[in-house]
Amino acid sequence: MTKRDFASLDADVRAMLERQDAEERPEPWSVPIRELRDGDRSFWMAKPKRHDVAWVRDEWATGDAEPVMVRVYHPGGDGVKPLIVFVHGGGFALGDVETYDHAARRLAVGAGSVVASVDYRLAPEHPFPAAVEDSVQAARWAVSQADAWGADAARTVVMGDSAGGNLAAVVARRFRDEGGPSLTGQGLIYPVTDMRPESQWESRLQKANGFGLTQEVMDWFGRMYLRHELHAFHPDASPLVVQDLSDLPPALVLTAEHDPLCDEGDAYAQRLREAGVAVAHAQLPGTVHGVWSADEGLASTERMWGLVFSWLREITG
């Protein structure tokens, strides 16, 4: 039986983990990656669309590299909207605009914003730095298209969860280093910030098993994404190795108490604050990785969404 600290878990999160234990799913590395992706996509596409938007369309973000597909959501209503460039999670190997359609719709409606969801290339077919370059290109192009979508380029936020949080942080830093465009904020939801193999974060040790995301799964993701060991030390892979984090846009950093990634996310929030960046940071107790995009109706899911919407309203007006 999986060992976990039941007393400190929210009751609904504990029940979700127990259901997952009972399902006895195969380890993800024992299943062909395309089959995993197809299963995730089929699951989410079968769900009813609970958040209606005015329009959705797929476009292609052009730039110096190959075009990147971007799915754009407009919430409807009058007036020019803020723009959110959203980068999905999935360990750099799973997920796409279909599996995150529900999250993008909720983000557009709840934040009253145009959302551009980035369909970046996935590992292992496209290892580092493909996802980074796609995300940077798509975000830069989205800003250039804001007027055409009824959005305000001057109120642009880049957001992502997990691997997408890593990519969102990298986009924000690359924009700073490459002369723009400027961003109003960066929303990082339980982000991966340190992929160096020798890093010994306490949360990775203490929460390695029994809380949904495991260290074994993260290692598997890392092997697919980073083909060379030295890539883990690159600032585009591990945002925590960046020496100078000053002059970055205001940040929201949300972490979960029982997430292996908790400590490195908390550390990144602290590093940003020490560099003079305005940071809204919360570690949510009693919950685990993945709840923000869950379809379980969890109390911590609603708490996270509430914090996201509150922060977005504050920084985008």
Q: Which of 162, 203, 238, 300 is catalytic?
A: 162
Residues near 305 by beta carbon (within 8 Å), at least 6 away in sequence: 106, 110, 292
> Could you confirm whether 162 is annotated as catalytic?
yes
Q: Which of 259, 266, 293, 300 is catalytic?
A: 259
> Could you confirm whether 258 is annotated as catalytic?
no
Peptide bond into 181 cis (omega under 30): yes
> Could you confirm whether 289 is annotated as catalytic?
yes
**Annotated catalytic sites, by residue?**
162, 259, 289
